[in-house]
Amino acid sequence: MKLAYLWIDKYINLHNCGFTFTSIVNIKNTVDFKKRSITLIIESNENYISNLFGSNITEITAIVGANGVGKSNLLGLVRQFVSTKSVYETVRFVKYFCN
């Protein structure tokens, strides 16, 4: 199972933003701030090429941006998902996993 999508309501300098970590599926989001809801539309990616990097590497995701935009904060939050459950008490988020 792998993290495919993460929506962050508010975490340090990351506010109301979504991140896709896979190309196996196409993920589109619609956010309704009045209703405080997010809708994810998840569709199979017909252009996905399996084993592009060989059998040992399933995917590569690059996180790029200017200094101070939150790259390290995003990675820190993902690291907290993996290592502890304390993040669940302090951050509102939506995450989607796929096989």
For residue 89, the model assigns a pLDDT of 57
Distance, CA of 55 to CA of 91 (rounded, Å)? 35
CA pair distance 96, 27, nearest whole angstrom: 10
pTM greater than the 0.85 cutoff: no
CA 94 to each of CA 29, 37, 87: distance values in angstroms, whole numbers, following the listed order: 11, 10, 12
pLDDT digits (tens, 9 = 90+) for 48-58: 888 888 888 88
Task: Give the integer Cα–Cα distance in Å for 90 and 96.
Answer: 19
Residue 85 confidence (pLDDT): 61
Reported as a pLDDT band with limits 50, 70 and 90, residue 88 is low
Question: What's the confidence (pLDDT) of residue 78?
Answer: 85
